[in-house]
Amino acid sequence: MKDKNKAAETNKKNTDGEILSDEIETIYGNVQEVRRIAIAPHDKLIFPWKEKVWEVAAKDVALQKMLAEIALIEDGDIAGLIYHPHKNEFDYDSLLGRWGYAVHVRKTERTAGGLLLAYVAGLCRFTVTGDIDFSKGYPTAEIEWFDDEEEMNPASRDEAALVIELATMTQNVVRIAKACGDELKQFQTAPKIPTPHVAGKIAHQMSFMQLDTLNYFTDEQKLEMMLVRSTLERLRYCNKHMQKVVFLLENKIPIRSRARNN
Protein backbone atom coordinates (compact mmCIF):
# COMPACT_ATOMS: atom_id res chain seq x y z
CA MET A 1 0.00 0.00 0.00
CA LYS A 2 0.99 3.68 -0.23
CA ASP A 3 2.83 4.00 3.09
CA LYS A 4 4.05 0.43 3.28
CA ASN A 5 7.70 1.19 2.58
CA LYS A 6 7.75 4.16 4.93
CA ALA A 7 6.41 2.03 7.77
CA ALA A 8 8.99 -0.64 7.10
CA GLU A 9 11.84 1.89 7.12
CA THR A 10 10.83 3.28 10.51
CA ASN A 11 11.24 -0.08 12.18
CA LYS A 12 14.72 -1.59 11.74
CA LYS A 13 13.59 -4.91 13.19
CA ASN A 14 11.47 -5.67 10.14
CA THR A 15 12.70 -8.60 8.04
CA ASP A 16 11.41 -10.58 5.06
CA GLY A 17 10.11 -13.24 7.44
CA GLU A 18 8.39 -10.88 9.87
CA ILE A 19 5.53 -8.42 9.62
CA LEU A 20 5.53 -5.99 12.51
CA SER A 21 2.39 -4.44 13.93
CA ASP A 22 3.11 -0.86 12.86
CA GLU A 23 3.55 -1.91 9.23
CA ILE A 24 0.35 -3.95 9.30
CA GLU A 25 -1.58 -1.10 10.89
CA THR A 26 -0.48 1.20 8.05
CA ILE A 27 -1.57 -1.32 5.41
CA TYR A 28 -4.74 -2.07 7.37
CA GLY A 29 -5.77 1.58 7.26
CA ASN A 30 -4.92 2.19 3.61
CA VAL A 31 -6.64 -0.95 2.35
CA GLN A 32 -10.03 0.61 3.09
CA GLU A 33 -9.54 2.84 0.03
CA VAL A 34 -9.61 -0.16 -2.34
CA ARG A 35 -12.97 -0.95 -3.95
CA ARG A 36 -12.12 -3.74 -6.44
CA ILE A 37 -9.77 -6.64 -5.77
CA ALA A 38 -8.73 -9.94 -7.30
CA ILE A 39 -10.41 -12.84 -5.55
CA ALA A 40 -9.97 -16.59 -5.29
CA PRO A 41 -11.68 -19.42 -3.38
CA HIS A 42 -9.63 -20.75 -0.48
CA ASP A 43 -10.31 -23.66 1.87
CA LYS A 44 -8.44 -22.25 4.89
CA LEU A 45 -9.11 -19.19 7.01
CA ILE A 46 -6.23 -16.73 7.26
CA PHE A 47 -7.11 -14.56 10.23
CA PRO A 48 -6.42 -10.84 10.52
CA TRP A 49 -2.77 -10.28 11.52
CA LYS A 50 -1.88 -13.91 10.70
CA GLU A 51 1.20 -14.57 8.52
CA LYS A 52 1.25 -17.53 6.16
CA VAL A 53 3.29 -19.02 3.32
CA TRP A 54 0.68 -20.07 0.78
CA GLU A 55 1.82 -22.89 -1.50
CA VAL A 56 0.09 -22.78 -4.89
CA ALA A 57 0.47 -25.86 -7.11
CA ALA A 58 1.74 -25.53 -10.69
CA LYS A 59 -1.62 -26.74 -12.02
CA ASP A 60 -3.35 -23.68 -10.48
CA VAL A 61 -2.18 -21.47 -13.34
CA ALA A 62 -4.75 -18.68 -12.92
CA LEU A 63 -4.11 -18.42 -9.17
CA GLN A 64 -0.33 -18.34 -9.67
CA LYS A 65 -0.74 -15.60 -12.27
CA MET A 66 -3.00 -13.61 -9.96
CA LEU A 67 -0.68 -13.72 -6.94
CA ALA A 68 2.49 -13.06 -8.97
CA GLU A 69 0.93 -9.98 -10.59
CA ILE A 70 -0.50 -8.67 -7.33
CA ALA A 71 2.87 -8.93 -5.56
CA LEU A 72 4.31 -6.47 -8.11
CA ILE A 73 1.63 -3.79 -7.66
CA GLU A 74 3.01 -1.03 -5.43
CA ASP A 75 -0.29 0.43 -4.24
CA GLY A 76 -2.61 -2.55 -4.63
CA ASP A 77 -0.77 -5.65 -3.45
CA ILE A 78 -3.75 -7.32 -1.78
CA ALA A 79 -5.86 -10.31 -2.74
CA GLY A 80 -9.30 -11.32 -1.58
CA LEU A 81 -9.81 -14.91 -0.49
CA ILE A 82 -13.37 -16.23 -0.52
CA TYR A 83 -13.56 -18.86 2.18
CA HIS A 84 -15.00 -22.18 1.10
CA PRO A 85 -14.18 -25.51 2.77
CA HIS A 86 -14.67 -27.43 -0.50
CA LYS A 87 -12.94 -25.62 -3.36
CA ASN A 88 -14.13 -28.12 -5.98
CA GLU A 89 -17.73 -27.20 -5.18
CA PHE A 90 -17.15 -23.45 -5.04
CA ASP A 91 -19.93 -21.17 -6.26
CA TYR A 92 -19.53 -17.38 -6.38
CA ASP A 93 -23.32 -17.01 -6.47
CA SER A 94 -23.84 -18.69 -3.11
CA LEU A 95 -24.05 -16.71 0.13
CA LEU A 96 -20.83 -18.35 1.30
CA GLY A 97 -19.18 -17.34 -1.96
CA ARG A 98 -19.85 -13.63 -1.37
CA TRP A 99 -17.88 -13.33 1.87
CA GLY A 100 -14.09 -13.17 2.18
CA TYR A 101 -11.02 -11.69 3.78
CA ALA A 102 -8.09 -9.82 2.29
CA VAL A 103 -4.43 -10.73 2.48
CA HIS A 104 -1.40 -8.54 1.86
CA VAL A 105 0.75 -10.33 -0.73
CA ARG A 106 4.25 -9.38 0.40
CA LYS A 107 6.20 -11.35 -2.21
CA THR A 108 6.16 -14.55 -4.25
CA GLU A 109 8.81 -17.13 -5.09
CA ARG A 110 8.69 -19.92 -7.66
CA THR A 111 10.36 -23.27 -6.94
CA ALA A 112 12.15 -25.48 -9.44
CA GLY A 113 9.15 -27.80 -9.42
CA GLY A 114 6.73 -25.05 -10.47
CA LEU A 115 5.29 -24.42 -7.01
CA LEU A 116 4.55 -20.78 -6.20
CA LEU A 117 5.22 -19.64 -2.63
CA ALA A 118 3.16 -16.58 -1.72
CA TYR A 119 4.07 -14.79 1.53
CA VAL A 120 0.86 -13.25 2.81
CA ALA A 121 -0.59 -11.66 5.95
CA GLY A 122 -4.27 -11.48 6.87
CA LEU A 123 -5.92 -8.05 6.83
CA CYS A 124 -9.65 -7.23 6.96
CA ARG A 125 -12.89 -8.86 5.91
CA PHE A 126 -15.20 -7.94 3.05
CA THR A 127 -18.35 -8.85 1.14
CA VAL A 128 -18.62 -9.06 -2.64
CA THR A 129 -21.16 -6.49 -3.84
CA GLY A 130 -20.89 -6.59 -7.65
CA ASP A 131 -20.57 -9.01 -10.53
CA ILE A 132 -17.45 -11.14 -10.94
CA ASP A 133 -15.16 -10.06 -13.82
CA PHE A 134 -12.82 -12.64 -15.42
CA SER A 135 -11.25 -10.40 -18.08
CA LYS A 136 -7.78 -10.51 -16.45
CA GLY A 137 -7.63 -14.30 -16.56
CA TYR A 138 -8.65 -14.51 -12.92
CA PRO A 139 -11.72 -13.17 -11.09
CA THR A 140 -11.96 -9.64 -9.71
CA ALA A 141 -14.92 -8.14 -7.89
CA GLU A 142 -16.24 -4.95 -6.37
CA ILE A 143 -16.29 -5.27 -2.60
CA GLU A 144 -17.26 -3.50 0.61
CA TRP A 145 -15.05 -3.75 3.67
CA PHE A 146 -16.39 -4.52 7.11
CA ASP A 147 -14.69 -4.55 10.46
CA ASP A 148 -15.52 -4.73 14.14
CA GLU A 149 -17.50 -1.82 15.51
CA GLU A 150 -14.78 -1.09 18.08
CA GLU A 151 -12.10 -0.87 15.38
CA MET A 152 -14.12 1.59 13.30
CA ASN A 153 -15.01 3.63 16.39
CA PRO A 154 -12.41 3.15 19.18
CA ALA A 155 -14.46 5.38 21.49
CA SER A 156 -17.13 2.66 21.56
CA ARG A 157 -14.79 0.12 23.22
CA ASP A 158 -15.79 -1.14 26.63
CA GLU A 159 -12.20 -1.52 27.79
CA ALA A 160 -13.13 -2.77 31.26
CA ALA A 161 -15.22 -5.56 29.71
CA LEU A 162 -12.38 -6.39 27.31
CA VAL A 163 -10.00 -6.79 30.26
CA ILE A 164 -12.41 -9.24 31.92
CA GLU A 165 -12.77 -11.33 28.76
CA LEU A 166 -9.03 -11.32 28.07
CA ALA A 167 -8.38 -12.45 31.65
CA THR A 168 -10.96 -15.22 31.23
CA MET A 169 -9.39 -16.25 27.93
CA THR A 170 -5.96 -16.41 29.57
CA GLN A 171 -7.32 -18.64 32.33
CA ASN A 172 -8.99 -20.88 29.75
CA VAL A 173 -5.78 -21.23 27.74
CA VAL A 174 -3.80 -22.15 30.87
CA ARG A 175 -6.39 -24.74 31.96
CA ILE A 176 -6.51 -26.27 28.48
CA ALA A 177 -2.72 -26.37 28.36
CA LYS A 178 -2.43 -28.06 31.76
CA ALA A 179 -5.06 -30.61 30.80
CA CYS A 180 -3.07 -31.41 27.65
CA GLY A 181 0.21 -31.82 29.58
CA ASP A 182 3.58 -31.47 27.88
CA GLU A 183 1.94 -31.03 24.49
CA LEU A 184 1.06 -27.40 25.37
CA LYS A 185 3.61 -26.76 28.09
CA GLN A 186 4.48 -23.28 26.75
CA PHE A 187 0.92 -22.07 27.53
CA GLN A 188 0.73 -23.34 31.11
CA THR A 189 1.87 -20.06 32.70
CA ALA A 190 -0.56 -17.16 32.58
CA PRO A 191 0.85 -13.92 31.12
CA LYS A 192 0.25 -10.57 32.79
CA ILE A 193 -3.31 -9.31 32.29
CA PRO A 194 -3.24 -6.11 30.20
CA THR A 195 -4.41 -2.73 31.49
CA PRO A 196 -7.65 -1.34 29.99
CA HIS A 197 -5.74 0.92 27.57
CA VAL A 198 -3.58 -1.95 26.29
CA ALA A 199 -6.54 -4.34 26.21
CA GLY A 200 -8.30 -2.11 23.70
CA LYS A 201 -5.33 -2.39 21.34
CA ILE A 202 -4.76 -6.15 21.54
CA ALA A 203 -8.27 -7.55 22.05
CA HIS A 204 -9.08 -7.56 18.32
CA GLN A 205 -5.95 -9.55 17.53
CA MET A 206 -6.38 -11.91 20.48
CA SER A 207 -9.98 -12.72 19.58
CA PHE A 208 -8.77 -14.12 16.25
CA MET A 209 -5.51 -15.58 17.54
CA GLN A 210 -7.22 -18.15 19.76
CA LEU A 211 -9.22 -19.40 16.79
CA ASP A 212 -5.95 -20.19 15.08
CA THR A 213 -3.79 -21.50 17.93
CA LEU A 214 -6.37 -23.89 19.41
CA ASN A 215 -7.65 -26.82 17.37
CA TYR A 216 -10.94 -27.19 19.22
CA PHE A 217 -13.00 -25.03 16.86
CA THR A 218 -14.68 -26.46 13.78
CA ASP A 219 -14.52 -24.61 10.45
CA GLU A 220 -18.17 -23.65 10.91
CA GLN A 221 -17.45 -22.16 14.35
CA LYS A 222 -14.43 -20.26 13.03
CA LEU A 223 -16.46 -18.86 10.16
CA GLU A 224 -19.28 -17.85 12.49
CA MET A 225 -16.85 -15.96 14.74
CA MET A 226 -15.15 -14.33 11.75
CA LEU A 227 -18.50 -12.79 10.82
CA VAL A 228 -19.16 -11.36 14.29
CA ARG A 229 -18.73 -7.58 14.09
CA SER A 230 -17.79 -6.97 17.71
CA THR A 231 -14.45 -7.80 19.30
CA LEU A 232 -16.10 -8.11 22.70
CA GLU A 233 -18.79 -10.48 21.44
CA ARG A 234 -16.19 -12.60 19.64
CA LEU A 235 -14.14 -12.88 22.84
CA ARG A 236 -17.26 -13.90 24.76
CA TYR A 237 -18.21 -16.46 22.10
CA CYS A 238 -14.66 -17.81 22.12
CA ASN A 239 -14.56 -18.04 25.93
CA LYS A 240 -17.91 -19.79 26.10
CA HIS A 241 -16.70 -22.50 23.74
CA MET A 242 -13.28 -22.75 25.41
CA GLN A 243 -14.93 -23.32 28.80
CA LYS A 244 -16.81 -26.28 27.33
CA VAL A 245 -13.49 -27.66 26.09
CA VAL A 246 -11.95 -27.12 29.55
CA PHE A 247 -14.77 -29.13 31.13
CA LEU A 248 -14.34 -32.02 28.70
CA LEU A 249 -10.55 -32.10 29.04
CA GLU A 250 -10.48 -31.83 32.83
CA ASN A 251 -13.08 -34.59 33.11
CA LYS A 252 -11.21 -36.72 30.56
CA ILE A 253 -14.19 -36.87 28.19
CA PRO A 254 -13.08 -37.43 24.56
CA ILE A 255 -14.00 -34.24 22.73
CA ARG A 256 -14.75 -35.87 19.37
CA SER A 257 -16.86 -38.61 20.93
CA ARG A 258 -18.84 -36.04 22.91
CA ALA A 259 -19.33 -33.98 19.75
CA ARG A 260 -20.73 -37.01 17.91
CA ASN A 261 -23.09 -37.79 20.77
CA ASN A 262 -24.40 -34.22 20.74
Give the CATH number of the domain where residue 79 resides.
2.30.130.40
pLDDT in tens, 144-178: 888 888 888 888 989 999 999 999 998 998 888 88
| Domain range enclosing 80 | 4-146
Select from 105, 124, 146 the last residue of a domain: 146
CA distances from 50 to 4, 24, 62, 136 (A): 17, 10, 24, 28
Same domain, 98 and 207: no
Same domain, 129 and 160: no
pLDDT in tens, 104-117: 898 899 999 999 99
Same domain, 161 and 92: no
Report the distance separating Cα 176 and Cα 170, nearest Å.
Answer: 10
Check residue 161 and give its pLDDT.
94
Same domain, 110 and 135: yes
Q: Which residues pair with 59 in a beta bridge?
A: none
Same domain, 92 and 193: no
Same domain, 117 and 47: yes
Select from 120, 146, 172 the last residue of a domain: 146
Tell which residue, 220, 213, 262, has the closest CA to residue 242: 213
Report the distance separating Cα 54 and Cα 137, nearest Å.
Answer: 20
Same domain, 19 and 111: yes
In this structure, the number of other CB atoms found within 10 A of the CB of residue 17 comes to 9
* Number of domains the chain is built from: 2
> Which stretches in the chain have pLDDT values below 70?
1-32, 74-76, 85-90, 92-96, 256-262
Select from 146, 176, 205 the last residue of a domain: 146
In this structure, the number of other CB atoms found within 10 A of the CB of residue 262 comes to 5
Check residue 202 and give its pLDDT.
83
